[in-house]
Structure 1
């Protein structure tokens, strides 16, 4: 009886590990979607309202989890680039996301309105490419990770019995 219970636990542990890996892929995709939506909102604010960068971030960045270090740093009195660097260096982000976010922040608010619109359009395109890759990776490997976790758990359970 104890062996059967251990085997069931191993199967569930394997399934949980597979789901965790699959979740990481989904979160990567979701972060890119949130950043893409943010970029779209930024472009609209710049084009039609001429709103300053800090105000745009206050309006549209509060609900993005990886920008929370930016807001905390700004409350502590840090300037824009230092605060943005903290957000771009967040542990939540993958290396390619960090690079994308860091590079966007370096040019954000540094030029006139037309330059900002071009900057946002460039990063929308780069984010679209990264999002397409992340979406494909999630579709291809997400299910694989879940199934692999169950299979490894089942194999270990069989070895136990």
Structure 2
């Protein structure tokens, strides 16, 4: 009886691990799409709204879902007089603190890291060009993420169940 309960628990753990990995493959394209839309809103705020960068980041972050919401609001908070960080330092600090909560990879983080060096330090047109470049790179990453999702999402679910079954067979 105890062996049966143990086998069921091992099988359930393997299945849950597979479903978790499949969920990560599904989340990445959604988060990338949300990040692209947020950067496009930032571009609009900079070009037409004449909004200061901390206010724009806070406003954009307020309309996002977690974990990107926390990332944008934290970047805005770090630019406040309490912290006194530059735009580049505050965005990098927010990325380093909150990036692991996202399903995105380091390629997307690198795009935002490069963008942080330009925001708040150059003129409006230069910032708009760099945001457009970042959006283009993120769109490429989104296409790759959708391909990965199509390839690996179903396989991850099945593989989790099969690995759990293999462990049960090997143990018993």
Same fold (TM over 0.5): yes
Q: Which residue in 2 is equivalent to 1:83?
A: 90
Q: Offset of 1:136 from its aligned partner?
A: 1.2
SS of equivalent residue, structure 1 residue 89: helix
Note the C-alpha offset of 1:17: 1.1
Q: Is the 8 A contact 1:14 1:149 kept in 2?
A: yes
Pairing partner for 2:150 from 139, 146, 156: 139
Between 1 and 2, higher relative CO (CA 8 Å, sep ≥ 6) is seen in 1
Tell me, which stretches of 5 or more residues in structure 2 are unaligned?
none
- Deviation (angstroms), 1:128: 0.2
Aligned-residue RMSD, C-alpha: 2.0
CA deviation string 1:27-57 (max 9, x = no partner): 3333322210111111222232222212210
Counterpart of 2:138?
127
Query: How many Å separate the matches in 2 of 1:40 and 1:51?
Result: 14
Structure 1: stretches of 5+ with no match in the other structure: none
Shift of the 87–31 alpha-carbon distance from structure 1 to 2, 3 Å rule, reads farther
Contact 2:15 2:161 in 1 (8 A): yes
Q: TM-score, normalising length from structure 1?
A: 0.86
